[in-house]
Amino acid sequence: MSGYLTGVLVTLSFNIIAAYAVYLPIAAGQLNLGIAGFMAIGAYAAAFLTNEMSWPIWAAVLVSAGLAGSVGLMIGLPVLRTHGIYLAMATFALGQVISAVFLNLEVVGGAAGYPVAAYAPPNIVFAAAAGVVGFMLLLSTTRFALYLTAVKSDPTVADLLGVSVRGIQAAAFTLGAMVAGFGGALYAHHYSFIEAQHFNVMLSVFPVLYVLFGGTQTVLGPLVGALFFTLAPEWLRASAEWRYALFALFIILFMAARPQGLVTMSLFRLFGRRKPQVTT
């Protein structure tokens, strides 16, 4: 595999993980605009564990993902009392605060950044992304996915049916934070260097775009969105400096024409019908 191709696929893997971190709360009807903060927690925690405590990478990554999830749960419970645009603002601020904390934390390098000694090769990154996709596919077959849809489409009726709405929302938010932390932890060990400035607003916003573009109705939407946003700019590379302008124009037109995203349930029904429906 060429270095270029490997580089693109590694970026793709991290984008897929980030997309699912954003997708989980969106599937419960909540927008987390601070996903970069949870990636930062995972990245710094894992780097600290391998650098200073000599932990093996896999253990550091898993524990850091758990840590990011715990922080997500602790912060999520109060933050999830807000809804809609207020929740978006609260999580947005949260992401900024977390990255500001690491910017000033001297024990992990502060503004100078933090080199990471242990290295995770591309194959590990690919496997991790595949693992996240597999986990999400598995999750989509469980009752939890049904509750997510119920909470997202009608929280009032979900409550009346006895679904614990806040419980499901907190669980989705926590799982999303965990996936973000997992991605961040791997990122630190693949690129061997992290700095607080990397975990900025754009890192939080782009995955949201992948998910909205791919579609929030099905579990495959985020995957398709991440694929498109990672690979399409590469294909457009030939048209040089105009590629981003054309790309942006295309996104605007696409979202205007198809606000529900690319992959929807009706699309599945169109192509994946198992048996003919009786329509009398």
Binding site for other proteins (CB under 8 A): 143, 146-147, 149-150, 153-154, 156-157, 159-164, 217, 265, 277-278, 280
Q: Which helix (H) or strand (E) holds 21?
A: helix 3-27
Are the CB atoms for 177 and 76 separated by under 8 Å? yes
Q: Mapping DSSP to helix (H, G, I), strand (E, B) and coil, where does residue 48 land?
A: helix
Q: From CA 188, how far away is CA 50, in angstroms rounded?
A: 11
Task: Select 253 or 265, whichever has its Cβ closest to other proteins.
Answer: 265
Question: Using CA atoms, how far apart are residues 107 and 86, in angstroms rounded to an integer?
Answer: 33
Q: Measure the CA–CA gap between 274 and 130, rounded to whole angstroms.
A: 26
> Which lies closer to other proteins via its Cβ, residue 50 or residue 217?
217
Strand partners, 193: 115
Rounded Cα–Cα distance for residues 192 and 207 (Å):
22
* CB-nearer residue toward other proteins: 240 or 278: 278
Q: How far is the CB of 147 from other proteins (least distance, A)?
A: 7
Given the complex with other proteins, which of 144 and 247 has the nearer CB atom?
144
For 63, half-sphere exposure in the C-beta direction (CA atoms, 13 angstrom radius) is 14
CB of 53 to other proteins, least distance (A): 42
To the nearest whole angstrom, how small is the minimum distance from the Cβ of residue 164 to other proteins?
Answer: 5
The nearer residue to other proteins, 164 or 192, going by C-beta atoms, is: 164
Residue 114: strand, helix, or coil: strand
Per the rule left: phi > 0, alpha: psi between -120 and 50, beta: everything else, 163 is beta
Shortest distance, CB of residue 132 to other proteins, whole angstroms?
24
Q: How near is the Cβ of 158 to other proteins at its closest, in Å?
A: 8
- Give the shortest CB-169-to-other proteins separation in angstroms: 14
Residue with smaller CB distance to other proteins, 150 or 177:
150
Q: How far is the CB of 224 from other proteins (least distance, A)?
A: 19
For the residues of 148-172, what is the DSSP string, one character each? Answer: HHHHHH-HHHHHHTT--HHHHHHHH
Q: Which is nearer to other proteins, 163 or 205 (CB)?
A: 163
Instruction: Give the helix ranges, DSSP H, for 28-161.
Output: 35-52, 57-79, 84-103, 122-140, 143-153, 155-160
Between 141 and 239, CB nearer to other proteins: 141
Contact (Cβ atoms closer than 8 angstroms) between residue 162 and residue 65: no
Residue 229 CB, nearest distance to other proteins (Å)? Answer: 25
- Residue 118 CA to chain centroid, in angstroms? 24
